[in-house]
Amino acid sequence: MTTAPDPYFLKLNGYGFRPYQHSKDEIPVCKLCWRNALPGGRPFPLIPEAGSVSFGRIVTGPYAEYASHYFYVVDELTSGRLIAYFTGADGQAVKAGKREVPWMQWRDKTASHIAEKEFGEISLKLYLPVNGYLEGQKFLYTLSLGTRALQFLLHAKFNNAREMPEAPVCPEFHFHVADGHRGQGIGGRLIEHFLQQFSGKRYKLVCAQVTLCDGYKTLAYYRNMSYRGKKLWTVYDKRETAMYMATEKKAWGLGPTVENASLVANRKRLLAFLGSRSRSA
């Protein structure tokens, strides 16, 4: 009798790290994405739980489609529950037909297409005979999520491009770790595993897109991170987002300003920093 191969490339402190499997992991990843999307890892109220999977697909779908080999998840070994995910891309242009599209542009365009597929497109399509029924069903689904959800989707559709910071051509990533499992070195090990797959002058830099606000990680948090006297992160670009109303920012402790930022680090220095933390843990 043969035993099934071990799916994990790393086991650490009761957690198993393995490659993402779309058929198995899409739903729990999307729900984790929704639960941790608000800065600070609190439930994301603008899209209620009914739309959590749709929201998660918008965020993680482009990575699953283009760079699934850089998509990882982490299970709690005792329960088998998925408690973290990591998505990344090499940052190189994506082939789209006969032309190449910059990664960030392709990612944002693909996310927009996924949003239209999940929530419908608020346009004349709603009234066309061929598309009317399907778009109408999507529109009713979107309306069922509530007025604020509809406002959020409209804002994302028309303002997202202006509010997303530019980034250099280099490996880029984001990840989420479920509340209650942070501070265990999970995020650092995921980043380390990702960065170890790149080498050479082509991959000298690495980019992380983060949200900066009060009550979470401010810009000072990243600026104060260093390794052997040298700063880890520098700001490549940052832009304020009008996604949240003043009353929401106050209620959730986000402060008066919420910004999206592209932070850039030297890949080798970041790897050395993560390695030193792993050894001391």
The whole-number average pLDDT for the span 156-169 is 88
Give the model's pLDDT for residue 154: 84
- 36-50, 201-215, 230-244, 257-271: least confident range: 36-50
Task: Give the count of beta carbons closer than 10 Å to the beta carbon of residue 251.
Answer: 11
User: What are the tens digits of pLDDT across the range 61-117?
Assistant: 999 999 899 999 999 999 999 999 999 999 999 988 889 999 999 999 999 889 888
What's the token pair of residue 266? 């030297």
Rg for the chain, CA atoms, rounded:
20
Which band of pLDDT confidence, cut at 50, 70 and 90, is reported for residue 126? Answer: very low
Confidence of residue 281 (pLDDT cuts 50, 70, 90): low
Average pLDDT, the chain: 89
Residue 94 is predicted with a pLDDT of 93
Can you give the three-state secondary structure of 28-68, one letter per residue? Answer: HHHHHHHHCCECCCECCCCCCHHHHHHHHHHHHHHHHHHCH
DSSP H helices in the chain: 22-35, 52-66, 103-119, 132-144, 147-163, 186-195, 219-223, 246-251, 267-280
CA 63, CA 52: separation in Å to the nearest integer?
Answer: 18
C-alpha 75 chain-centroid distance: 18
Q: What is the residue extent of each domain of the chain?
A: 10-280
* pLDDT-wise least confident of 76-90, 131-145, 150-164: 131-145
Residue found by looking up tokens 């899409």 in the block: 26
User: Is the distance from CB of 87 to CB of 174 less than 8 angstroms?
Assistant: yes
- Quick one: CA torsion of 178, 183, 185, 188, rounded to 10 degrees? 80
The yes or no reply on domain 10-280 and CATH 3.40.630.30 is yes
pLDDT one-digit tens code per residue, 232-246: 999 999 999 999 999
Global pTM reads 0.90
CB-based contact 171:267 (threshold 8 Å)? yes
pLDDT score recorded for residue 257: 93
